[in-house]
Amino acid sequence: MKKIQILGPGCPKCKLLTANAEQAARELGIEAEISKVEKISDIMKFGVMTTPALVVDGQVKSAGKVLSAEEIKKHLA
């Protein structure tokens, strides 16, 4: 099972990235645990300065932009 984390304070962009991650996992037919990391101190532990950010299995894959479901699929495959 993939572990996907969305880093961000809960802004509209963070919510859109979460929805896109859910869509990507669903379309690939993979099991994924998707969680949100909203505390600034927790986000900083990943070394991320701009949100939203996408973390897959503990590795930061993108920061500062909203990836489309198609872009996220590349990180999940």
Q: Which residues are catalytic?
A: 11, 14
Q: 18 and 7 in contact (C-beta within 8 Å)?
A: no
Cα separation, 37 vs 60, in Å, equals 13
| Amino acid making up residue 69 | A
